[in-house]
Amino acid sequence: QVQLVESGGGLVKPGGSLRLSCAASGFTFSDFYMTWVRQAPGKGLECLSYISPSAGSIKYADSVKGRFTISRDNAKNSLYLQMNSLSAEDTAVYYCSRDPRLLDYWGQGTLVTVSS
Amino acid sequence: DVVMTQSPLSLPVTLGQPASISCRSSQSLVYSDGNTYLNWFHQRPGQSPRRLIYKVSNRDSGVPDRFSGSGSGTDFTLEISRVEAEDLGVYYCMQGTHWVFTFGQGTKLEIK
């Protein structure tokens, strides 16, 4: 069965950096576009970025462009999100998901808290 | 960005009764491949969202047939024929046609 497991969240100071990981299993990871979606506490859902199977196509939302970098390692069945210059507005649960147009499977999420 | 507008934002329901949620997009959601990427998700407190309906009207595996999706272009609807206790939570529509893909504000389904 498809499984997506995020890790790497935690408490970070404003201006700091964090790298999130998403371990995929139960499907051929290298065949699928992957994406990151976040949800601020008590708020709605926001698509942040997606990456094509070969990493040849990458998109970002304006809210994270220039600060966040999405990447993947198909040999390790893993998706990543490097987050720099973090601010309080980036505090959220971060989810990885499969197929950005359809979001058919989601991980359990990892909480990122940006606070001094 | 495409704005997704859901209504109502709060939906008090009686168990066993029907419920309906509307979702309108600020642009047509018909993609160049002919598909309309309008999806519906359900989220319970403390859980990840779960997809219920994809491409307007296709029910996901394991989703009860009391859930149905309809619509076209810019107007879409999620209907629950008879609400059960497990259906409570927040429902989101989401468009996957125009990047950046966007969600509606969410509709909270709660007991009347």
Q: How far apart are CA B102 and CA B4, in angstroms?
A: 7
CB contact under 8 A, A103 and B49: yes
Q: How far apart are CA A5 and CA A78, in angstroms?
A: 9
Q: How far apart are CA A13 and CA A115, in angstroms?
A: 5
Q: Are A49 and A57 in contact (CB under 8 A)?
A: no
Q: Which tokens is B110 given?
A: 């709660």
Q: What are phi and psi of A3, to 5 degrees?
A: -135, 135
pLDDT value of position B6: 98
Q: Residue ranges of the alpha helices (H) in chain A?
A: none
**A102 contacts on B by Cβ (under 8 Å):** 37, 39, 51, 54-55, 96
Residues of B with CB under 8 A from a CB of A: 31, 37, 39, 41, 48-51, 54-55, 60, 92, 94, 96-97, 99-106
Q: In the predicted model, what is the mean pLDDT of residues B41-49?
A: 97
CA distances A97 to A24, B72, B85, Å, are 10, 25, 27
What are the start-end ranges of the E strands in B1-106?
A: 4-7, 10-13, 19-25, 38-43, 50-54, 58-59, 67-72, 75-80, 89-95, 102-103
**pLDDT grade for B25, boundaries at 50, 70 and 90:** very high
Q: What are phi and psi of A89, to 5 degrees?
A: -70, -15
Q: How far apart are CA A65 and CA A67, in angstroms?
A: 6
Q: Would the pLDDT of B111 be above 90?
A: no
pLDDT value of position B45: 94
Q: Which of A62, A68, A66, A104 is nearest to A83 (CA)?
A: A68
The SS3 assignment for A43 reads coil
pLDDT value of position A100: 97
- Per-residue pLDDT of chain A (116 residues), as tens digits, is 999 999 999 999 999 999 999 999 999 999 999 999 999 999 999 999 999 999 999 999 999 999 999 999 999 999 999 999 999 999 999 999 999 999 999 999 999 999 99
Cα B68 to its chain centre, rounded Å, is 9
pLDDT value of position A8: 98
pLDDT value of position B112: 85
Q: Are B76 and B53 in contact (CB under 8 A)?
A: no
Q: In the predicted model, what is the mean pLDDT of residues B2-18?
A: 97
CB contact under 8 A, A61 and B105: no
